[in-house]
Structure 1
Amino acid sequence: MTDWSTLTDACGTAEHVPSLLDRFEADPNGVRSEVMDHLCPQLDTAFPASYEALPRLAQIASACGPEDLTSVLLAAGAIAACSPGLSEPDSPLTVYSAPIGVLHMLTDRHLRRAVEAGEYVDLLQSLLSFEGAEIWDRCLDGLHSGEYEVVCPHCGVNMFIVLGQDGYFCCTDDYALGEVEKSPLQPVRAQDLTGLPRRLFTRAVADGQEELAHGIPYLFGRTACPDCGTDFSVAERVVAGWTL
């Protein structure tokens, strides 16, 4: 039996967390923001009580209906994304591997039902977080928003990577304000994708997310800085920006 009074969340002692999770179970969509305020504020910080809540979140997810499941899976996914990697001693991903396995299975199933692209990307990131896939479990959202901000590896200028209805290009000025100098993105051929990029592409296609799938070869492709002409990997600059 967990002694919650010995654990902490974002507000101090976690003795109130069991009752908070009871309310979350009764109304996942209505209580999710409060749960996140206590267990994973700003979606980037977790606490001992956050990880201890994972078994209960797995139980809640297993019992709730499709209309509430997304809220539970995203809450658990945000917590898992904060965990040290599987290579770290006593990683919560290892300590709580059983409930995380349940959450992963439910997310995998629920992804196939997601229709809206934003929800799909959020769930896909949760799926990766339960697997311990660092970085990409937090920065796929640009595939939906259509934009990443990165820095040139040579001259240091800030750049926009644009993926979507406005085209597939790199620029250094706000492209929404008018004509700007653009460098086209050079996608990897779909058949040449390997590892995680190939898995993401194949999964998005299989789940009917064709627009998202179309952007993945560009995200893992190359382009050049419009200012200095330096060629670079788009994905490497996205990762570099996240790890700063």
Structure 2
Amino acid sequence: MSNGHIVIGEIFGTAVLILLGGGVCAAVTLKKSKAQGAGWVAISFGWGLAVLAGAYIANGYSGGQLNPAVTLGVAIKTGEWSTMPYYLIGQFAGAIIGAFLVWVAYMGQFQAHLTDPELVRSLEGPAGTTKAGSAPGGPVLGIFSTGPEIRNPVQNLLTEVIGTAVLVLFILTQGMTKGLALNGLGILLTALLVVGIGLSLGGPTGYAINPARDLGPRIVHALLPLPNKGRSDWSYAWIPVVGPLVGAAIAGGLYKLAFT
């Protein structure tokens, strides 16, 4: 595959990943959405199916990595580093495009949710001031990016490291089963694992396990002209970037140590 194919494949695949994954978060969160309140199980399955769709779309062009952590793990396994920048360009560009499309698809629901009188009253502070501008994350930030239920940087970082290490080690060891990584079944199994990680390890942080999945949409949240959206919580933003990369490096090291 050429470098151009890598960029194109990762843009399309990651855009679909974020469109469907962010879309299920929007569906569950926003007022006037038919799926509002569907809960964490729906979100976990939605993200798993988003991985399935994005990876299948990109597979023929780029291999469908869609995740800088996966790209790092594969580079450690294979020793092929020259294509890594092209994967990263495609992944971050695709994540930004996908997050923007979530807003387009739910534009009316965003407006209804963020201008709802009950929500506006809940954001009002003393003397008519607003808490939306000072809170770590606003009422729709979770549609775009992750955030912790308990704000403990060490625990939050370790949760992302552990979840990503499981994901990347699973992907790296698929090649040990003859034909698994080539016949499409590997993509399906990876998607199911993403559901499993969400159900088992997603509770503390919302499981980014993908730097592009978190950072790209967080940038879109910061730029979109949404009323009462609150801050984009940049003080937390390093954790869903650094944690998955550390987890991927650990998984790559374990693979080299134990499986080769």
TM-score (norm. length: structure 1): 0.26
Relative contact order (C-alpha < 8 Å, sep 6+): which is higher? 2
The structure with more radius of gyration: 1
